[in-house]
Amino acid sequence: MRKVKQKKAFISGKVKAMVAIVALAIAGSVGFLMSPWGRPVVETVCTGYRIVVEKAHLVLDQVEVDGHARTSLADINTALGLTQGMPILEIDLAAARERLSALPWVREVSVERHLPSVLFVRIVEKKPVAVWQHQKKYRPLDEAGEPIDDDKTILSGLLLVVGDDAPEHTPALIRILAQYPEIAVKVRSAVRVGGRRWNLLLNDAEEGLEVYLPETDIAGALERLQRMNEEEQILRRDLQVIDLRIADRLIVRTHKGGRS
């Protein structure tokens, strides 16, 4: 047992000695760099590094971008904030990705150095599935119902949704409508009512046929509407409102104000 203790003490002494040597080396290096002679040495090393990089042609010559459609090259270049001719090895790839990820249409982005002189950017953009009308502005919604911070891009052919809580409920509505393509193709806009349910506007967003959906079982209501359309062509009639809020009843209103 005594020999084991002596060996451990010897190893511990070696470790302490090595730590002390490293600590002295670091302290000496820091002290030197902080001395009047340290700064010129650092500047000389940095200058030498830049000369070597430039002679090796490891400087940024161009930025190649793939996958962008709604994100402009001007916005990408501004976000990157890089200068042609700068050492390509000095580019902080993580910071570049972070800045590009902040652009409105960017969902995913990768940034790679293609030595000696190319920075390659690959972008996956968000897919707009609807347009949200809110406070007199129109903003696209992505697949998750998240608003895209862009009120200038004109998007046609997408579902227009209205209501404070419309974005979070839009993906579910779109998924249900996709099961009834004959109805979905006619839907121009959807309005949230009381934060509880939807009204669909068909054919014309302003003066078209309005369909009142129930708070629950939207699929069941659309199934009834599709069946009535197949049997009676109800969507071709001169109607103003089709009320599907009550499961066992159908209420319609004509443009003249009559009900049936």
Task: Reduce the DSSP state of residue 45 to 3 states and report it.
Answer: helix
* Segment among 39-53, 92-106, 172-186, 216-230 with least mean pLDDT: 39-53
| pLDDT-derived band at 204, boundaries 50, 70, 90 | confident
In what side-by-side order are the strands of the sheet with 209-212? 137-141, 130-134, 159-162, 187-193, 197-202, 209-212, 239-243, 251-254
Beta strands in 44-89, from DSSP E residues, in sequence order? 62-66
Looking up tokens 């650092």 gives 42
Asked if the model's pLDDT at residue 112 lies above 90, the reply is: yes
Over the stretch 32-66, which tens digit does the pLDDT of each residue have?
Answer: 556 665 566 556 555 555 555 455 579 999 999 99
In percent, the amount of the chain with pLDDT more than 90 equals 67
| Euclidean distance between CA atoms 105 and 3, whole angstroms | 69
pLDDT at 154: 85
Place of tokens 């709604």: 70
22 pLDDT exceeds 70? no
Beta bridge pairs of residue 121? 65, 111
